[in-house]
Structure 1
Amino acid sequence: MNIKSLKGPKGDNQYIEIDFFRKGGMGEIYTASDSINNSKKAIKIVPIENDEEYKLLVSEFEVATSLNHKNIISTEYYSEFDSKNVKYIYCVMPFNTNGSLRDFLKSRSELVGLKDSIHLMIDLANGLKNAHLKVVHRDLKPENILLDQDGNLQICDFGLAKLIDAKTRTKSFKGYGTLPYMAPECWMFDSNTTAMDIYSLGIIFYEILTLKQPYIGKTEQEFRDKHLYESLPNISNFRVDLPVRLIEMISKMTNKRPSDRYSSMSDIVNILENLVDKAEEKSESKIDSLLHKANQKISATQIKELERQKEKEKIDSELKFLEYSTNSLFDKFSTRVNELNESLERTKIQVSRNSSQMTISFMGKSFTISFYPSSNIQQTIKNHKEASLNYQKKQYGFIMQAPQATYLERDNVVLIGQMVLSQSFSPMKNMGYNLLLRKANQEDLYGEWWVVWFEDSGLSRNRPLNLHYAISIPEFYEEYEFGRIRAMHIRNMHMATLETEGVDKMLEKILE
């Protein structure tokens, strides 16, 4: 963007020589000369998409300009301008030439001394303590922390701050947070609280002490899982000179549960100030040794609890997915029945459904849709692998190769069911279809419904029937494998995605 000058508090063209500096967490950052005060400024410029964003930004910039503390970068002025039919809002700050905390940490070839580390932490704790009187920052990270001329740290980017108790905003507006520093509740879009910042600051403290980020991921999902379920890596693995009280403090700051963190920054400031005088002590007392052992036991217990929570969320997520999928299938039939019933005057098609079963009836005929336990699929796959391994051990005395994946695995089958007429045409066969819910891959959120049907082939002992039928569990598993490899067999298997035509075929059977 080419900007010649911007308005300031003392003149319409107070800021001149405006040059692009870098992209920011929101908008872009420019440098400028203050023509009245003869100083260099940093100007953050943010495009506005709608009135709601404008009102929120104005209210937050007003709060930012009211923050006044030596460990917070001052927001000196904000205003707005229009360019090419787009509205922009900007805020003005002192330009800091010493770089960010990220630059400082990257420049280090060895760990920061303990006493210096604690002084850096005190700067941040005091700055955040003052900010928390009015706002939750919600995007704390080393890039948003600057070093002033005296080497003090200053927290910046309070234009991103969220008013205390405001609902966490979505990704679409003004900063979703930065993945390595986001508190667990931030991933769940909970209301903004100071506990979010305390968590992020604990991660930054860890990084100051170790020069390493505790949580590394390749994808957003990996970061989410680590923040929600993975304990903070043991900081003592990276340096041995840390007081136990400091390790305890960081562990509490980064606790997964907000209620188990510190209630305010004041407690953290007090701890750090008490640690300053002890920072150069090298020997560890007996009580420190005992505290280390206690912390190790606490960490082991927390790891087990996080694993339990992760497994519970996985189960809950799968149940919600299956419930959604079965309801969407039932809705396909209900919609079609409603369309038919609109034109039926004397007798209506009846529908009965619950969370796992649906029956559709008309004048004495009916068909039912039902499902088998989803856990059976994984158990069948496990049994297949064990049988393959046992066979190889028995036949050869050792394992020659890993078991081949079943077609249930290859096809990502997550649920099996059937829709069959209530009156079977044979004691062993149910007229109708088997149902499969298949995912295209592991990242597929919703999957797709397929129908599978069987017909007797010429190899059957019985005379081939010109009817297709469904097969019950557990026989279906074996028949599905035969059908997928198109082996010569007593049955032929066919499959296709469930379309409206398939819905109509079942309805036709009870209407004819």
Structure 2
Amino acid sequence: MIIQPNSIVYDGEGNSFRVIDSIGNGSFGYVYNIEKETDKSIWALKTLPSNFPSSEQLQSFQNESTMAVKVSHENAVNYIFVHDGNDYPQLPPYIIMDYANGGTILNIIRKAIEKNKFLSNENLNDYFHQLISGMEHINSVLIHRDIKPDNILLNNGTIKISDFGLSKIVHDGTRQLTFKGFGHIRYMAPEGWKREKNTIQMDIYSMGITFYEMATLQHPFNLPAHAEVQDWINAHSFKNPPSPQTINPALTNTMAQVIMKMIEKSTLKRYKTWEEIRNDLLIDNEPLTKNSSIVENMVNIRLQRDSSIREEELKKEQERQEKAHYINTIHFQYENEIYLPINEFISEFNKKYTSGQIKMTSFAQVGSNDFHTKIHLVSGKTLTIHLKALFDDDFVREVPSQFDRSRKYKQIVRPALRDKKILAWGYLKCSDNTGFNILLLENKDDLYGEWVTLHNSNSGLSRQSRIEPFPFEFNELEKEIHHIYAMHIYNTEVLPINLEKFYEFIVLHN
């Protein structure tokens, strides 16, 4: 049965309620006004997704529902009954809850924008303390996971936090999401994107974003409507929002500091409890002294310095994470496209040859752009695959000025082959110094690069012959790459990667 106006629904005690009309729809379903038939009192009903693929997921839904019903606070929308579909099989899952008549915090923000007038500090302080009290109680029972302005209702001027626990109920209980992710992307803490354990600090971060919007009438990251999920991840992880006081100068230093500490990226710097937030907001109630104006000025100066430090820290952290991702991507491609096929080839040999074993080991230090694979052959020889991921910082060179050759300036001179940036380079080399080079070239149409090999030999111009075939060493590669298609003392053939060449080299030296 579909719930609609004039439908009859029931609570856990069998009391009947008549559905009056729809009052909106949220992240998880439709919301209706309902009237209790015995006393004509008005309540709200929210529908939920209806499919439970397994008994375990139904149990998860029931457990989370039981926790949600335990929330009972004047600043929370209290659930009086959560229907999982069992008690009244003819009805879909739904929640019967308190009805709030005053709209949402999102409505208040939008009205303030229309009037072009910030909320007063007095109103903000009142709302903030109510929200802190409500969240303190909610978090004593469960983690909300989906705090945002449209989930905060008002009833006769009193804050009512809603939808607590529903993100977990729907995600774990039904695996049906009607929104992107498992909490709204505009409000999700940086650690939430890493799917770390849900904590109170995640709720504090989301509420901090909400406080920021209430104080400034804009989101701290203010991304365009067409922003992608990755844009939001980067903003939450690395973007340093301006102090809310720069947008709303009437805001007190205390409020600005509290909001910024609530939305700290690092959980070590972010508030850990709602009590800490409440206590810091109360600083504004301290009586003025003869030093108050001087101290206030000192605080402003310190806040500006803190912002600059935070900006620099976030920039370094972004660079560190981008570097780690870059290395991991190259290592993943090497492991899947070179290491594992060779390992499979060697394993097949070891199964069929009973008088010895080829041993293969691979290692790379965490965060290092340098990784090795050693292949210990039956012959006693050792083959080495050695690759290095390349970065722009590795190729900052002094080059002469175009207009004055006597003057030099620093420039990134990144090696390229066939106009494709080299992402990584190295070699497969035997202990007798024979082998060939391996390069990973950028492919602008793909996340991953394309492998090529360099097969080098002596040319007629060479005065001193090297044992062929030979790989260029790391300290030669930058120079030799430039000579590949020119007359030179070495001839180099550039070929797409062919694993049979690797196998042949192993066979030759085994």
TM-score category by the smaller chain?
Answer: 0.7 to 0.9
Residue matched to 1:427? none
Aligned partner letter, 1:303: E
Specify the alignment match of 1:28 in structure 2.
29
RMSD (Å) for aligned C-alpha atoms: 4.2
**What letter corresponds to residue 118 of structure 1 in structure 2?**
N
Residue in structure 2 matched with residue 262 of structure 1 by the alignment: 271
Secondary structure of the corresponding residue to residue 404 of structure 2: helix
1:370 matched to 2:386? The reply is yes
Q: Deviations over 1:243-290 (max 9, x none)?
A: 2222222233223333433342234335546647999xxx97332222
- Paired AA for residue 494 in structure 1: V
Residue 440 of structure 2 aligns with an amino acid whose one-letter code is L
Cα distance, 1:100–1:481 mapped onto 2, change above 3 Å? farther
Q: Following the alignment from structure 1 to structure 2, what is the Cα–Cα distance between the partners of residues 170 and 415? A: 45
TM alignment of 1:107-506, pairs within 5 A: 107-108=111-112, 109-148=116-155, 150-160=156-166, 176-217=182-223, 218-272=227-281, 275=284, 285-318=293-326, 320-321=328-329, 324=332, 327-328=335-336, 329-351=338-360, 353-355=362-364, 356-363=372-379, 366-371=382-387, 373-375=388-390, 378-379=392-393, 381-383=395-397, 386-387=398-399, 390-394=400-404, 406-407=415-416, 411-423=420-432, 430=434, 432-441=435-444, 444=447, 447=449, 449-454=451-456, 469-481=470-482, 483=484, 491-499=491-499, 501-506=500-505
- Displacement after TM superposition at 1:116 (Å): 1.7
* Deviation digits for residues 305-346 of structure 1 (CA, Å, limit 9, x no counterpart): 334444444444455555555555333322211101111123
Q: Given the superposition, is the C-alpha separation of residues 404 and 107 from structure 1 closer, same or farther in structure 2, using an over 3 Å criterion? A: farther
Match of 1:100 in 2: 104
The answer (yes or no) to whether the contact 1:60–1:161 under 8 Å persists in 2 is no
Asked if the contact 2:254–2:283 (Cα under 8 Å) also holds between the matched residues in 1, the reply is no
Call closer, same or farther: CA 1:19–1:105 in 2, change over 3 Å. Answer: closer
Are residues 503 and 213 of structure 1, via their aligned partners in 2, closer, same or farther at CA, if it must alter by over 3 Å? same
Q: Deviations over 1:32-65 (max 9, x none)?
A: 5336254363313123343333222222222222
- Decide whether aligned partners of structure 1 residues 433 and 6 sit closer, same or farther in structure 2, where only a CA change above 3 A counts: farther
CA 1:254–1:365 in 2, change beyond 3 Å: closer, same or farther?
A: closer
1:277 to 1:364, Cα distance in 2 relative to 1, 3 A: closer
Distance 2:474 2:268 in 1: 47
1:170–1:189 contact (8 Å) kept in structure 2: no
Per mean C-alpha deviation after superposition, the further-off stretch among 233-242 and 318-327 is 318-327
Give how far 1:418 is off: 0.7
1:57 aligns with 2:61: yes
Of stretches 86-95 and 192-201 in structure 1, the one that deviates more from structure 2 is 86-95
Q: Does 1:43 align with 2:53?
A: no
Distance 1:228 1:240 in 2: 26
Deviation at 1:241, TM superposition (A): 1.8
Partners in 2 of 1:8 and 1:449 — Cα distance? 65
1:403–1:465 CA distance, 2 compared to 1 (3 A): closer
Change over 3 Å in CA distance of 1:487–1:146 after alignment to 2: farther
Distance 2:404 2:91 in 1: 76
Is the Cα contact below 8 Å between 2:131 and 2:159 reproduced in 1? yes
Alpha-carbon distance, 1:481 to partner: 4.5
CA distance in 2, matches of 1:443, 1:284: 59
CA distance, structure 1, for counterparts of residue 407 and residue 396 of structure 2: 21
**Secondary structure at 1:196 match in 2:** helix
User: Is the CA contact 2:62–2:84 (under 8 Å) kept in the aligned structure 1?
Assistant: no
Counterpart code for 2:119? V
Alignment CA distance shift 1:293-1:395 (3 Å): closer
| Cα displacement string for residues 394-419 of structure 1 (whole angstroms, at most 9, x for unaligned residues) | 369999xx999752595343221111
1:60-99 pair list within 5 angstroms: 60-81=64-85, 89-96=93-100, 98-99=102-103
The verdict on how the C-alpha distance between 1:89 and 1:200 changes in structure 2, with shifts beyond 3 A counting, is same
Shift, 1:126, TM fit: 1.8
Q: Deviations over 1:191-220 (max 9, x none)?
A: 332222222212211111111111245333
Contact 2:145 2:165 in 1 (8 A): no
TM-score (norm 1): 0.78
Percent identity reads 21
CA change 1:344–1:54 in 2 (3 A) is same
Which segments of 5 or more consecutive residues in structure 2 lack a partner in the other structure? 365-371
Give the secondary structure class of the aligned counterpart of 1:133: helix
Kindly indicate whether the alpha-carbon contact (under 8 Å) linking 2:415 and 2:421 is maintained by their aligned counterparts in 1. Answer: no
Q: Out of 14, 17, 26, which is 1:14 matched to?
A: 17
Secondary structure of the corresponding residue to residue 93 of structure 2: strand
